[in-house]
Amino acid sequence: MYTFSNRLKITSIVLMIIGALGIVGGFVMAPGSIEEAKAIVSSHDESHGDVHVVEASQTPQENNHAEADTHGEEHDASHDQHLLDKLQNRPWAALYVAAFFFFMIALGVLAFYAIQRASQAGWSPLLFRVMEGITAYLVPGGIIIFVILLLSMLHMNHLFIWVDEDVVAHDALLLGKSGYLNPTFFLIRAAIFLAGWIGYREYSRKLSLRQDESEDNSNFKLNFRISAAFLVFYLISESIMSWDWIMSVEPHWFSTLFGWYIFASMFVSGITVIAMVTIYLKSKGLLPDVNNSHIHDLAKFMFGMSIFWTYLWFSQFMLIWYANIPEEVTYFVTRITDYNLPFFGMVAMNFLFPVLLLMNSDYKRINWFVVMTGIVILAGHYMDIFNAIMPSTVGDQWYIGIPEIGSVLFFTGLFIFWIFRALASAPLQPKRNPFIEESKNFHY
Amino acid sequence: MASKVIHAFYDDDDVLMLAVKRVKAAKLHIEEVYCPFPVHGLDKAMGLAPTRIAITSFLYGCVGLVVSVVMMNYIMIDDWPQDIGGKPSFSYIENMPAFVPIMFELTVFFAAHLMVITFYLRSRLWPFKEAENPDVRTTDDHFLMEIEIHDNEQELKDLLMDTGAVEINVTEKNSH
């Protein structure tokens, strides 16, 4: 039985407090009026020197800049309003990216857990309690996401432009999509998905705990069946969720493999967190039967899924880059012009690091190596979500500053607090899982 | 130099594993073990050094990557930078996404094929090679342990008999 150590509890609470201050600070610093927004941008430009001005006037081949300038002259007022919206979006987007990132870790772990149950894996039952502990975060994380989405639908921010009736009324494309992208249906879908994921998690956990005390394997068999059924639901709901929660911040753009792409991101982050929590608990001597072959397997998954993520990232990017159809390519044009370093930096973090560091079979067994790679992978996938949300919500006004770091710290604290509290609520090793002996003797 | 070797036959891989451990414990050198199928853990029990073939494969993959990059940089960018469907051929990086499928495939191609060829060379395998198994039964259902004899024939025989060998032969070692 694990007891939530006081040091970890205090650390997580401190993280939450600092993070909450950062989040509040982000909202306070956001401009309230167009004048304030202009002041922020001009002071920003001055501090950077005259580089921006020179760039805009002396490089006529940069069509984006030239276009934006003529637009600005024609509709000065709407340009200013646009700038204000972007700056006001920043704390919201920072909060949303961090909230989604940590929720997606828990959801990725849930998918991994369901696959382990449905495939009757022999190596992983020792880690089931770790996975169940991490998926406990689905409840608070899901509620926070839902509240953010609800506030967005209530016009508290401009994260989703299709919520604004005025914009939709003058936009034929959005009007055409309004049968799907409308606030009521959007919230109903979100509620159904969250209910399905949380429902499976809670029921599976209950069966898992009941199996420890039971006389036969009926709970285990039922858990196997509902896990297989859940995977079908998950595949559909995850795909739709990615269109709703991520792709619809850019409602003029669409991509068919987007659902898989987001899935790969959440899956690899989830497995990384399983590995890190397992290594932490093992270092405290709480998982005596977990050996370095289990860590090796998790690291193999981290390695393989990182490549899978890259494959999907590249497939999406290359197909659109190659064909270069204007309505699709704007997505990457904004990212490459305004987010060059984060956009390509994340590919290095999510691909080059894991591929080079985890290729060696011996390195996959070294705890500090797995943790170090895991930190890079998690930071890389935070940047992945950052790159998905920010360009459409704050545009070129992005920066990784107080609102972003504050949000990450807050959710890190909440995540740690919640999952270790859940880990402390049940014995860390399942007692009578049919595969537990195989798992204890697992050796690769 | 002709030397005598002892061939101990086993009909079970678990018995073989125990025998190998006994012989190693007796500080005797095992020349070779012939098996009809891979016996998990036999290399560890015999104390064989781990294979380095994965390292060679990684290096071959790097070679393949370099070959593909140099080749396409020369053909598409340096030699004849034509405008093909508006693809930017001013520098390698600008047209890089279009080259990635080839870079990937050549990396895999080099890594796989050169590693297989390395394996054939190191294990001395080729089409008209003369088979080396000392007894045909070792390809079907028997395991054979070969130990060189240094004036200790009877002692060795006793030890091997004790480990559960089903048959023990002493033969001249055929030099291959």
For the stretch A362-388, pLDDT in tens is: 999 999 999 999 999 999 999 999 999
The single residue listed with the structure tokens 């997606």 is A104
Residue in B54, B58, B97 nearest the CB of A322? B97
The single residue listed with the structure tokens 């690769």 is A444
Interface A–B counts its CB contacts (< 8 A) at 12
What's the rounded mean pLDDT across residues B142-161? Answer: 89
Residue in A317, A359, A361 nearest the CB of B97? A317
Residue in A321, A359, A361 nearest the CB of B97? A321
pLDDT of residue B173: 74
- Does the CB of B59 have a partner CB in chain A at under 8 Å? no
pLDDT of residue A225: 96
- Does the CB of A254 have a partner CB in chain B at under 8 Å? no
ipTM of the complex: 0.89
pLDDT of residue B174: 62
pLDDT of residue A74: 52
pLDDT higher than threshold 50 for residue A71: no
* Cβ-Cβ contacts under 8 Å, B50 against chain A: none
Lowest mean pLDDT: which of A324-338, A397-411, B160-174?
B160-174
- Does the CB of A317 have a partner CB in chain B at under 8 Å? yes
Per-residue tokens: B102? 């080839």
Residue B174 phi/psi, 5° resolution?
-85, 125
- Does the CB of A147 have a partner CB in chain B at under 8 Å? no
Cα B48–Cα B52–Cα B56 angle in degrees, nearest 5: 160
Whether the CB-CB separation of A223 and A435 falls below 8 Å is answered with no
Per-residue tokens: A242? 């990615």
User: Which of A303, A308, A314 is the best mutation test for B, with the most CBs of B within 10 A?
Assistant: A314
C-alpha dihedral (A153, A156, A162, A166), degrees to nearest 10:
120
Yes or no, beta carbons of A322 and B98 under 8 Å apart: yes
* Cβ-Cβ contacts under 8 Å, A318 against chain B: 97-98, 100
Our measurement of the distance from residue A367's CA atom to the centroid of its chain's CA atoms, rounded to an integer in Å, reads 24
* Cβ-Cβ contacts under 8 Å, B85 against chain A: none
Yes or no, beta carbons of A318 and B86 under 8 Å apart: no
Lowest mean pLDDT: which of A1-5, A45-49, A389-393, B119-123?
A45-49
Q: Return the sign of the alpha-carbon dihedral for residues A247, A250, A256, A261.
A: negative
Could you tell me which chain B residue has the CA closest to the CA of A359? Answer: B58
Yes or no, beta carbons of A322 and B86 under 8 Å apart: no
pLDDT higher than threshold 70 for residue A314: yes
- Does the CB of A369 have a partner CB in chain B at under 8 Å? no
* pLDDT tens string A177-205: 999 999 999 999 999 999 999 999 999 99
What is the C-alpha to C-alpha distance for residues B69 and B67, in angstroms, rounded to an integer? 6
The single residue listed with the structure tokens 């090679």 is B129
What is the C-alpha to C-alpha distance for residues A129 and A339, in angstroms, rounded to an integer? 39
The single residue listed with the structure tokens 């956001």 is A30
pLDDT of residue A125: 94
* A326-338 helix and A340-347 helix, angle to the nearest 10 degrees: 100
The single residue listed with the structure tokens 């994380």 is A141
Whole-model pTM: value is: 0.90
* Cβ-Cβ contacts under 8 Å, A359 against chain B: 58
Give B30→chain A minimum CA distance, Å. Answer: 26
Lowest mean pLDDT: which of A68-72, A264-268, A312-316, A416-420?
A68-72
Residue B78's CB: how many other CB atoms inside 10 A? 12
- Does the CB of A308 have a partner CB in chain B at under 8 Å? no
Yes or no, beta carbons of B100 and A318 under 8 Å apart: yes
* pLDDT tens string A79-95: 888 888 888 899 999 99
What is the C-alpha to C-alpha distance for residues A440 and B130, in angstroms, rounded to an integer? 45
Mean pLDDT of all residues belonging to chain B: 92
- Does the CB of A321 have a partner CB in chain B at under 8 Å? yes
- Does the CB of B54 have a partner CB in chain A at under 8 Å? yes
What is the C-alpha to C-alpha distance for residues A345 and A238, in angstroms, rounded to an integer? 26
